[in-house]
Amino acid sequence: MDAHYMRYLAPGFDRAEVLEELMSKYGEDVWRFAYYLTRRRDAADDIAQETFIVAYDRMYDFRGESNIRSWLFGIARNKSMRVLRGAFFRRVQTTDIRELNENIKGFAVSAEEVVIGRMDAGRVWRTVFRLRPKHREVLLMAYHYDMSMKEMAVALGIAEGTVKSRLARAKRSMAKLLNRAGEEDES
């Protein structure tokens, strides 16, 4: 399903069928994006569900100015930011490293490579989670979801130039944090 299809969706069309297709195609991506932003499984569950409820309610309003994934990510991002601003979430923000490693998929030949890969991936994910949310979200969109600058701009509701500058700052912050962690490991 693409934006072209959604743009011409007639008000009498069965929205439940379209929603089911959207959820099967984008559900996992929306959930993971919410999880990467909030670092909580329960929050990601709620956000993904709320995202598709909003998509269902606004399905006929979709104008096709962006692709569907960007539209859904924009909704999920707004829901995630609302959760992150909530007082309860700020008090109860814990991350279990085992949960992070469960979400990292990789292939390796030997057991040593698997262990080293998991250690490196875990270190990278822990570093990503230390970034400010606005830097974390552009890194995730760019590298994990392979979104273009335009798609990210639409999803975030900001100009492409702002996306580029946030991405550059996020890369610099990641490099500094990873270098600092590497220096601490050596000493």
Comparing CA positions, the residue from 12, 18, 132, 129 lying closest to residue 72 is: 18
Enumerate domains of the chain plus CATH numbers.
Answer: 1-94 (1.10.1740.10)
> What are 118-148's pLDDT values in tens digits?
556 667 777 888 888 889 889 888 888 888 9
**Residue 11 pLDDT:** 60
Comparing CA positions, the residue from 118, 79, 120, 83 lying closest to residue 102 is: 118
* Residue 32 confidence class, pLDDT cut points 50, 70, 90: very high
**Residue 162 pLDDT:** 95
Instruction: Evaluate if pTM is beyond 0.85.
Output: no
Mean pLDDT value of segment 68-76: 91
- Nearest-5° Cα angle at 153, 8 to 75: 60
> What are 92-114's pLDDT values in tens digits?
443 344 444 444 444 444 444 54
pLDDT higher than 80, residue 63: no
- Residue 159's Cβ-count burial label (10 Å; 0-12, 13-18, 19+) is exposed
pLDDT higher than 50, residue 25: yes
Please, are residues 60 and 9 in contact by the beta-carbon 8 Å criterion? yes
pLDDT higher than 80, residue 149: yes
pLDDT higher than 50, residue 88: no
